Amino acid sequence: MTQNAAIAMNTKELTDKYIMNTYSRFDLTFVRGEGVRLFDDKGKSYVDFASGIAVNNFGYNNQAVNSAIINQLNKLIHVSNYFYTEPQALLAEKLCKHSFADKVFFCESGAESVEGAIKLARIYAKKVSKKGYKIITMKNSFHGRTFGALTATGQEKYHAGFEPLLDGFDYVSYDKPDEIEKIIGNEYCGIIVEPIQGEGGVNIPDKDYLKKLKDIASKNDMLLIFDEVQVGLGRTGKLFAYMNFDVTPDIMTLAKPLAGGLPIGAILATERVASAFEPGNHASTFGGGPLVTAAANAFMDELLKKGFIESVQDKGLYIKSGLLELKNKFPDEIKAIRSLGLISGIEFFDLKARDIAVKLAEKGFVTTPVQEKVLRLTPPLIIEKNEIDHIIKTLEEILKSTL
Ligand SMILES: Cc1ncc(COP(=O)(O)O)c(C=O)c1O
């Protein structure tokens, strides 16, 4: 047994003994990453088609992000938000200059950004629009595990056992704006929606759907909140997912990839909406600290390099056509391919996505199943076409072996 294997056994035993049992982990222990590759404790290498969960957009050991972290680490890790820090200010400017937003609030995770967005919508309703406190959210959505975000999440399996949830959320079908028209009234202050549902199975709406939501929200003085925690920041082949749909929100949440793998969240909003928050209304001890925002500045600079986002679009079209070809070869196994930029969902008729993910791992690929029958591919945005060819060929072999 190699020394690393001994460590891994210990790691697995310690994890199972001491960590709360909330994840169905794969039997894999990773020790290192480089580019789009991960290495396990036995030295086996894997091509990553997960990126954490859409976190590691530049893969592993990215030198620009690493240098920014090391440089900031030696200067200042933390200081309270009662004081100014340059990395935070620069990051806020970058996010606003490249989006619809005028103002940003920084926090530490996706769920926390959703909590803050809900609070902002409610206080805007109290102070400005004089609307009620209710929020319309989508069935099949995912917004996080804290109580507000959990309630906004339209999947009963995540609610079970935690009731009563937060008051004031109504659920409508994704991609069916008419359902909102039917219930709309003064009691609602906002609509929260993922431009593409990630955890819900990589669901891509009709191209006019988000615009219709914007119309409904504007006509009724409600705020439109886009949760781009999973699909923002280059993932869909545009800087932000909403840019695929020719529409802007009033509030947007970001997290996962923003700080190159360090924990961060952000709420972006227009000036009109953001001005509802005043000192004392919302806060976060660690939110937007110098270390994470220095990393995020480096991440944003990489993402904004000329031609990079276009390369994501190009590779996105490539993976989509490869997956559609695979579907043609296996019409009885693959029910649907849903893909935009570098987020793809392969929906099977009967096969369990987790079983396919385990087989892919045996053959050296890391993927994440989402719904029971949907396998999600979210490779680092630096993935190469030959690596895309390789996973599709491997999927073909796996599907053949199931016939
Ligand atoms: C759309 C969306 N919102 C919110 C979250 C929650 O983010 P976090 O796990 O950082 O709290 C997720 C996580 O997968 C997500 O996909």
Q: How far is the CA of 325 from the centre of ligand 1 (A)?
A: 31
pLDDT band at 2 (very low <50, low <70, confident <90, very high): low
Atom of ligand 1 nearest to the CA of 199: 16
Q: Is the pLDDT of residue 390 over 60?
A: yes
Q: Give the mutation target among 229, 292, 370 for probing the ligand 1 site: most ligand atoms within 8 A of CB.
A: 229
CB 53 within 8 A of CB 378: yes
Specify the 3-state DSSP secondary structure of 246: coil
| Ligand 1 neighbour 143 (Cβ under 6 A) | yes
> Tell me, what DSSP letter sits at residue 174?
T
Tell me the average pLDDT across 332-356: 98
Average pLDDT, stretch 262-289? 98
Place of tokens 């990079």: 308
- Whether the Cβ atoms of residue 225 and residue 272 lie closer than 8 Å to each other: no
Residue 254 beta carbon below 6 angstroms from any ligand 1 atom: no
Residue 365 DSSP code: E
Among protein residues, the one whose CA lies closest to atom 3 of ligand 1 = 143
Say if residue 9's pLDDT is above 70: no
Determine how many CB atoms are found less than 10 A away from the CB of residue 304: 14
Which atom number of ligand 1 is nearest to the Cα of residue 255? Answer: 10
Q: Give the Cβ contact number of residue 91 at 10 Å.
A: 26
Is 1's pLDDT higher than 80?
A: no
- Sign of the CA dihedral with 25 first, then 29, 34, and 37 last: negative
* Ligand 1 pocket residue status of 28, Cβ below 6 Å: no
Question: What pLDDT score was predicted for residue 7?
Answer: 65
Average pLDDT value over all residues in the chain: 97
How far does the centroid of ligand 1 lie from the alpha carbon of residue 252, in Å?
13
Q: Which two tokens stand for residue 78?
A: 């933390």
Quote the pLDDT of residue 19.
97
Angstrom distance (rounded) from CA 260 to CA 295: 6
From CA 99, how far away is CA 238, in angstroms rounded?
11
* Ligand 1 contact, 142 CB (< 6 A): yes
110 CA to centre of ligand 1 in angstroms:
5
* Ligand 1 geometric centre to CA of 164 (Å): 21
Distance CA 215, CA 115 (A): 24
- C-alpha distances out from residue 268 to 49, 69, 99, 225, 352, Å: 28, 24, 9, 10, 37
**Residue among 331, 260, 257 at smallest CA distance from 291:** 260
Structure tokens given for 74 = 């030696």
Q: Please indicate whether residue 144, judged by its CB atom, sits closer than 6 Å to ligand 1.
A: yes
Mean pLDDT of 326-333: 98
Domain coordinates of the chain in residue numbers?
86-303, 307-353+360-374
Q: Is the CB of 255 under 6 A from ligand 1?
A: yes
pTM over 0.75: yes
Domain spanning 86-303, CATH architecture:
3-Layer(aba) Sandwich (3.40)
Place of tokens 């008051």: 167
pLDDT tens, 110-125? 999 999 999 999 999 9
**What does the pLDDT look like over 288-326, one tens digit per residue?**
999 999 999 999 999 999 999 999 999 999 999 999 999
Q: Is 393 helix (H, G, I), strand (E, B) or coil?
A: helix
pLDDT of residue 5: 61
Spatial CB neighbours of 21, under 8 Å, sequence gap ≥ 6: none
The pLDDT of 154-181, averaged and rounded, is: 97
Digit-coded pLDDT (tens) for 39-81: 999 999 999 999 999 999 999 999 999 999 999 999 999 999 9
Asked whether 114 lines ligand 1 (CB < 6 A), one says yes
Calpha distance 121→189 (Å, rounded): 6
Contact status, residue 353 vs residue 373, Cβ threshold 8 Å: yes
Instruction: Report the pLDDT value the prediction gives residue 28, as an integer from 0 to 100.
Output: 96
Q: Does residue 111 line the site of ligand 1, with CB under 6 A?
A: yes
Asked if residue 155 has its Cβ within 6 Å of ligand 1, the reply is no
Q: What is the mean pLDDT of residues 263-287?
A: 98
Q: Is ligand 1 within 6 A of the CB of residue 252? A: no
In 79-203, where does DSSP find H-type helix?
86-97, 110-124, 147-152, 156-159, 177-183
Rounded average pLDDT over 363-387: 98
Q: Is 199 in the pocket of ligand 1 (CB under 6 A)?
A: yes
Ligand 1 contact, 232 CB (< 6 A): no
Residue 403 has a pLDDT of: 78
